[in-house]
Amino acid sequence: MTDIVKQLDYIFKPRSVAVIGASDNVSKWGFLVIDRPLRTGYTGPIYPVNPQSDTILGLHSYHSVKDIPGPVDLAVITVQASHVPVIMQQCIDKGVKGAILISAGFAEVGEEGRKLEEKVLDIARSGGIRCVGPNCMGIWSSAGQFNNAFYKAPRDGEIAFISQSGTFGGYMAEIAYAKGYGLRMFVSIGNQMDLTISDYIEYLTYDEKTKAIILYMEGVKDGRRFFNVCREALKKKPIILYKGGSSPAGARATMSHTASIAGSETVFQNVCSQLGLIRTEESFQTFDMATALINQPLPPGRRIAVLGTGGQSVVAIDA
């Protein structure tokens, strides 16, 4: 088992979860990320943390993550951005292994937010905590039966979906559910402060039950690592992606959305072509293509015959 598998198993197969910033207010993230796993089959202990409450959603609430009596694999953090450095240090003191930072207000809002994000990252790395986000909307893991991203848990499936946008990715996943598609995993990756899209792809490369990977992405932080990780993953399973920020205006918008630099469209397309990444022109084509590739074995070579009549043959040949 590689290091990335060991590290991310604490996030995607958590044996226990602390929710820091837990709330009884149905409009707050601190409510949603407790309510969703409780309703959708998570069987491990969930520990609400809020110094102003004794019980939340019928669960005993703790004043600090350090007060929780048992071990904590995963911390879900929903507090105001300025409080996150202190919370992260408390998680290190407790021995937490992974964190999902729902909290926004970091690099996506400007220079001060970027400095705060770097401070949180330095603290997390000092204690070996791997982090999803910040500025994200949670995860679904079939392997861990853990869902804090959706009102209804997705169907179990063989497709893993990594999305740089929480709202757009969630919308795509909801449509996938309505059309009968299943998901092995969903992760809203946000600003990629620590874990990047490359880390998730590497993790999924070793997951035998993931048969295809779908990406919604706006930019790549480490192009060389992305290239190398995708090259290895593609030896085992297809990767289908839909990219935002392809136009000049869209590229500018990605900076304020997830603090991403979209990069050169021409360079990115050349990378996709060189690797064999399948890029779609419409967002939902990703699920259709992934399902087709899972159920239809790839041909052993490049010699393909198209049998048919009229326009269908022409379009198939163009593809």
Is 318 within the bounds of a domain?
Answer: no
In this predicted structure, the answer to whether residue 149 has a pLDDT above a threshold of 50 is: yes
Give the per-residue pLDDT at 299. 75
- Averaged pLDDT score across all residues of the chain: 92
Range of the domain at 73: 3-132
Mark whether 110 and 172 lie in a shared domain. no
Q: How far apart are CA 187 and CA 319, in angstroms?
A: 30
Greater model confidence, 260 or 303: 303
Contact 271, 229 (CB under 8 A): no
Q: How far apart are CA 154 and CA 142, in angstroms?
A: 8
Give the per-residue pLDDT at 255. 47
Greater model confidence, 20 or 306: 20
Is 312 within the bounds of a domain?
Answer: no
Is 253 within the bounds of a domain?
Answer: yes
| pLDDT tens track for 154-174 | 999 999 999 999 999 999 999
Q: At 222, list the tokens.
A: 């480490």
Contact 204, 210 (CB under 8 A): yes
pLDDT band at 147 (very low <50, low <70, confident <90, very high): very high
Give the per-residue pLDDT at 251. 54
Q: How far apart are CA 50 and CA 277, in angstroms?
A: 44
Mark whether 149 and 221 lie in a shared domain. yes
Which of 5, 160, 308, 56 is closest to 18 using CA atoms? 56
pLDDT average, residue stretch 274-285: 92
Is 236 within the bounds of a domain?
Answer: yes
- DSSP class of 15: S
Mark whether 143 and 125 lie in a shared domain. no
Is 78 within the bounds of a domain?
Answer: yes
Share of the chain above pLDDT 70, in %: 93
Query: How would you classify the pairing of strands 146-147 and 130-132?
Result: unpaired
Share of the chain above pLDDT 90, in %: 81
- What CATH number does the domain containing 227 carry? 3.40.50.261
Contact 74, 97 (CB under 8 A): yes
Is 267 within the bounds of a domain?
Answer: yes
Mark whether 126 and 149 lie in a shared domain. no
Give the per-residue pLDDT at 313. 84
Radius of gyration of the chain (CA): 20
Boundary-marking domain end, from 78, 108, 132: 132
Give the per-residue pLDDT at 257. 42
pLDDT average, residue stretch 226-238: 96
Mark whether 118 and 153 lie in a shared domain. no
Q: At 43, list the tokens.
A: 């069987």
Boundary-marking domain end, from 132, 161, 187: 132
Least confident piece of the model among 25-34, 93-102, 245-254: 245-254
CB under 8 Å to 263, separation ≥6 — which residues? 219, 220, 223, 251
CB under 8 Å to 111, separation ≥6 — which residues? none
Mark whether 72 and 168 lie in a shared domain. no
Mark whether 36 and 179 lie in a shared domain. no
- What CATH number does the domain containing 112 carry? 3.40.50.720
Mark whether 115 and 11 lie in a shared domain. yes
Mark whether 279 and 181 lie in a shared domain. yes
In this predicted structure, the answer to whether residue 216 has a pLDDT above a threshold of 90 is: yes
pLDDT band at 215 (very low <50, low <70, confident <90, very high): very high
Mark whether 68 and 201 lie in a shared domain. no
Mark whether 12 and 52 lie in a shared domain. yes
Greater model confidence, 296 or 113: 113
Greater model confidence, 249 or 119: 119
Give the per-residue pLDDT at 300. 78
Q: Which residues, in sequence order, are bridge partners of residue 13?
A: none
Q: How many domains does the chain have?
A: 2
Is 317 within the bounds of a domain?
Answer: no
Amino acid identity at 38 = L
Is 303 within the bounds of a domain?
Answer: no
Q: How far apart are CA 228 and CA 220, in angstroms?
A: 13
pLDDT average, residue stretch 74-100: 98
| pLDDT tens track for 236-257 | 999 999 998 665 665 555 544 4
Boundary-marking domain end, from 132, 163, 182: 132
Give the per-residue pLDDT at 309. 80
- DSSP class of 192: -
Find where tokens 């290091």 sit.
Answer: 3
pLDDT average, residue stretch 254-277: 72
Q: What CA–CA distances, in Å, run from 319 to 68, 197, 246?
A: 56, 28, 21
Mark whether 191 and 219 lie in a shared domain. yes
Q: Is 53 exposed, middle or buried (0-12, 13-18, 19+ CB in 10 A)?
A: middle
